[in-house]
Structure 1
């Protein structure tokens, strides 16, 4: 028997109601949209501030401090995009005796559960034979860790709340021997939250030429054709470029891959955003090219800024296997890049002209 329009509507409405009553669906909706809704600035925030606890109660109450204050040396957070030389920088800190350098703490591979020989070392990570030794004895972190951190809610502002992420990072800091160094590839758009939660930390921002980085992003797949156009179903192995854009487009609509067109446009806009976040919230920004070609001067600048005593830089320089190339010139004509970059710059400028920007540190 044919269904009438009224019956179809009732069935549809019933199905929607059932979905919305599901705790699983509600959790997923909050995961996707809650941080975006919460990031808006309700009027009451302009009228009410968090006041201090009255003096007479402070001795009896245990939670009156301002954010996270650690008892040891200030941790160092390294923020960088994928394929920007961050593994090289991590190796350097790993070889500084007073540091415990954690490799990619938000990586879905959960290094605290990895065993020697099971880690699948990336052959481009010259000199690396394991990623996980600093995580030894921390298997209990599995009860805190969330795989969602690698792909979901990649944008976090100062008003976001994620007590599990806070506890995870705090546990790593507290278990470090000496100074904790956390090398992130998944924190750049969470830097406002990270800075607010760990105000005493030092943030080191690493970046790389976006065109050359694009060539490295394609290292696990055949080169993307120059006339390729993204669709909603595009599934290219580009170090999560499209996956990140789909998550972040709820905050930055211009990142929608379908509207962006070629994946390089998505990559370039992510690069520009990441650079802006790093320059605004970091204590020092370092170019990968300078780390390779001006190693001694650059490492001295890092040491002075982060207030860390560097060991013999001549010894550390043996870790420097970086070479500066221009492979991007063999991928496409220079005008092809410029045309895409100009259009991306136009879109982003229009967006930020309307939303306002935070200036980079002086």
Structure 2
């Protein structure tokens, strides 16, 4: 449950850093900075200027020279132009390699702040303060940073773990419902790939799951973060195990690109999960009545919280082109994360275009 009176939960990501989860934990932001920091740049979107000012105040009270840096909202923040503007701010303010950046915002801001931190003087500290459900359970945890190009999403980036992550669940109360529900896609993803209790918690009361005042929200967030933390701890640079976190993302990222990022990330990933579930059934990874039930469960759980499970029928060629640029592709070979069963992720490499199109037909609405 939320509230400052509840002790925070601390989830270690290997031996590298901690994720602090709870109500009112924003007050701990200065505690996560490591020795030697003097200057801090607080990166935030226009909608969170008040919260960013609060973070600046908390840091200033601890003796840091902190200043806010506003960036555009949503995916428009993740460009080389915006990154260059932040590099300019750092240079003019005299930031050294021992100084730090704090990212306050959703996944786009934490991606951008992390990338700028990774590239300024070849790496400075970054503390992530995600303010959306998506940011808390996905973008801010794991050390993946990046910006977009016209050719695709997150194609330019670096692995740069934060020195700490603060997930203050009280800030979710002001999050628009559509954005909150979009974040649930990444929570549900963790249920399918590793922790089925998440799916049970959502299925018990889908209406409550859609709300930030859900009494089980903190448990859902903690379970999803533990899934990611456990994976990242053994595979920081996405060489093997970490790939399972991309369940639904190859097709989902393609939707985002084709729709020019007008779809929320979680909405696209929701369709992407149904797509790879159908692809798993077509390729023999999911078989028999149990496989059919698992595919149906994808649709049931996702639809129960208001997430989409279908896509338009006239975009296959564009989606295929977008998927070919996916970071998980190897040469001309497309790679997908699929399931052999509930919480049994596997890899599928090089399915034929015929199979890819057949799965697309199964998620298309006419």
Please report the TM-score for the alignment, with normalisation by the length of structure 1.
Answer: 0.30
Say which structure, 1 or 2, has more relative contact order (CA 8 Å, 6+ apart): 1
Larger Rg: 1
More strand by share: 2
Please report the TM-score for the alignment, with normalisation by the length of structure 2.
Answer: 0.30
